[in-house]
């Protein structure tokens, strides 16, 4: 794997694709700078070598139009403070001003380009646009794992203009190494914990994991489709009526492949989709009409924890319940606690993708697991066995 580690950036201008798609509040202040922090090792390596940097990123979904709301100028102050230097800003990523600024960079300088998605060419993977971007650097570094599954101009196409000098940043390299460890060389037993709202979002991942894992735990909203598929009454719990056959097929496949598929047997139900709803515990196959399961119940928690504690490699994707409501976080919290305990006892734990990362952060356990991925869709696609265009482009 070609990474920044082996490259000497002295006197070079590095064009670095980062994922600075950070959340901003109404006052355009950054509410969580994890994505910036995650890119720091790569930025520091280049600067310490004596190179200069042109940073490029997207922010939100401006749909090919410039917009005040999605301007990356909002992050310049925070980025300057974080890097302890004055970050320059180009208000059009491929305008004349941007090329003048990048041409004038001195060792130690950092330039941030305006949101790439102000041009529709970015998401289209337009070659002319990619070529323009390539003029900003002598070397191309991709450190944006979160967008590695997109064949966009800045994540994929631009790499062809750097046949001799394209490489992964530290974040990208770490993401790939950790995902690979789970997929290709896990210490066993290997357990995947899947949760979240819908089975349909994760079918491909579940199918591909069935070839790899020893245990597959399924919780969260998607579990009710399984309960329903086997004749349970699930009240008004979230369910995908057109996926009942699929749920039965997945259970049969697990059996055929000798995978221990663990489904919840009980749940915490509510008479309304709200934190203040009335609650009770119920069997997953016997939820009264008008009630819905919003978290896993105590028996399921116990079984899930036992399986997790006995695992040597763990992948967690998706919460066990509606963790955004404090009264329905217990299942996710206890699963997280078991993962932390297994990690302390030597297991490797990868927390992957969007909501599970948000969950582990909410519980302040980020530092107690082996790795929290910054990629949502990208990690899922990688785990499904797909080749990511942004990874392939580096070669």
Residues that bind ligand AMP (CB under 6 A): 196-198, 201, 220-221, 238, 293-294, 318-319, 321-322, 324, 354-355
Annotated binding residue 266: no
CA distances from 89 to 258, 341, 369 (A): 56, 45, 36
- Let me know: does 88 contact 118? Beta carbons within 8 Å: no
Annotated binding residue 64: no
Nearer CB in complex with ligand AMP: 98/238: 238
Residue 74 C-alpha from the chain's centroid: 23
CA–CA distance, 378 with 356 (Å, rounded to integer): 14
333 in active site: no
- Let me know: does 35 contact 146? Beta carbons within 8 Å: yes
Cβ count near 271 (within 10 Å):
15
In whole angstroms, the minimum distance from the beta carbon of 320 to ligand AMP comes to 7
Annotated binding residue 67: no
Annotated binding residue 353: yes
Nearer CB in complex with ligand AMP: 156/284: 284
Residue among 235, 354, 375, 376 flagged as catalytic: 354
Nearer CB in complex with ligand AMP: 139/338: 338
198 in active site: yes
Residue 137 has what DSSP assignment? -
In whole angstroms, the minimum distance from the beta carbon of 358 to ligand AMP comes to 9
Nearer CB in complex with ligand AMP: 138/201: 201
Q: Cis bond leading into 189, ω under 30°?
A: yes
125 in active site: no
- Let me know: does 156 contact 150? Beta carbons within 8 Å: yes
For 289, counting Cβ atoms within 10 Å of its Cβ (0-12 exposed, 13-18 middle, 19+ buried), the class is exposed
Annotated binding residue 175: no
In whole angstroms, the minimum distance from the beta carbon of 195 to ligand AMP comes to 6
In whole angstroms, the minimum distance from the beta carbon of 323 to ligand AMP comes to 6
Dihedral, 76, 80, 86, 89 alpha carbons, nearest 10: -20
Which residue ranges make up the annotated binding site for substrate?
A: 19-21, 35, 58-61, 117, 150
Q: Which residues are catalytic?
A: 35, 198, 354, 377
Which residue ranges make up the annotated binding site?
A: 19-21, 35, 58-61, 117, 150, 202, 293, 324, 353-356
Which residue ranges make up the annotated binding site for (2R)-3-phosphoglycerate?
A: 35, 117, 150
């Amino acid at each position: 794997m070609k990474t920044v580690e082996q490259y000497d950036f002295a006197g070079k201008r590095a064009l670095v694709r980062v994922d600075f798609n950070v959340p901003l509040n109404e006052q355009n202040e950054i509410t969580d700078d994890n994505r910036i922090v995650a890119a720091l090792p790569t930025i520091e390596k280049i600067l310490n070598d004596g190179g200069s940097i042109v940073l490029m990123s997207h922010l939100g979904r401006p749909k090919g139009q410039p917009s005040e709301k999605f301007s990356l100028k909002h992050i310049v102050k925070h980025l300057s403070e974080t890097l302890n230097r004055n970050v320059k800003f180009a208000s059009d990523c491929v305008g004349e001003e941007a090329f003048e600024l990048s041409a004038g960079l001195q060792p130690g300088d950092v330039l941030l380009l305006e949101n790439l998605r102000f041009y529709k060419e970015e998401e289209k993977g337009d070659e002319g646009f990619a070529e323009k971007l390539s003029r900003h650097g002598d070397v191309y570094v991709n450190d944006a794992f979160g967008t590695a599954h997109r064949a966009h101009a800045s994540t994929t196409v631009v790499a062809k203009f750097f046949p001799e000098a394209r490489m992964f940043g530290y974040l990208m390299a770490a993401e790939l190494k950790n995902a690979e460890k789970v997929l290709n060389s896990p210490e066993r037993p290997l357990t995947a914990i899947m949760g979240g709202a819908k089975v349909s979002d994760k079918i491909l991942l579940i199918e591909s994991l069935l070839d790899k894992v020893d245990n597959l735990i399924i919780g969260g909203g998607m579990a009710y489709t399984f309960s329903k598929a086997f004749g349970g009454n699930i009240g008004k719990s979230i369910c995908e009526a057109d996926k009942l056959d699929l749920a039965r097929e997945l259970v049969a496949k697990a059996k055929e492949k000798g995978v221990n598929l663990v489904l919840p047997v009980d749940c915490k139900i509510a008479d309304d989709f709200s934190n203040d709803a009335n609650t009770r515990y119920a069997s997953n196959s016997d939820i009264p009409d008008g009630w819905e399961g919003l978290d896993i119940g105590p028996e399921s928690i116990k079984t899930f924890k036992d399986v997790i504690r006995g695992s040597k490699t763990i992948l967690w994707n998706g919460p066990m319940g509606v963790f955004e409501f404090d009264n329905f976080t217990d299942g996710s919290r206890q699963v997280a606690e078991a993962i932390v305990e297994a990690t302390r006892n030597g297991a490797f734990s990868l927390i992957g993708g969007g909501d599970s990362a948000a969950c582990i952060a909410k519980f302040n356990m980020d530092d107690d697991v082996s790795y929290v991925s910054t990629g949502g869709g990208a990690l899922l696609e990688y785990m499904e066995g797909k080749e990511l265009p942004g990874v392939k482009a580096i070669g």
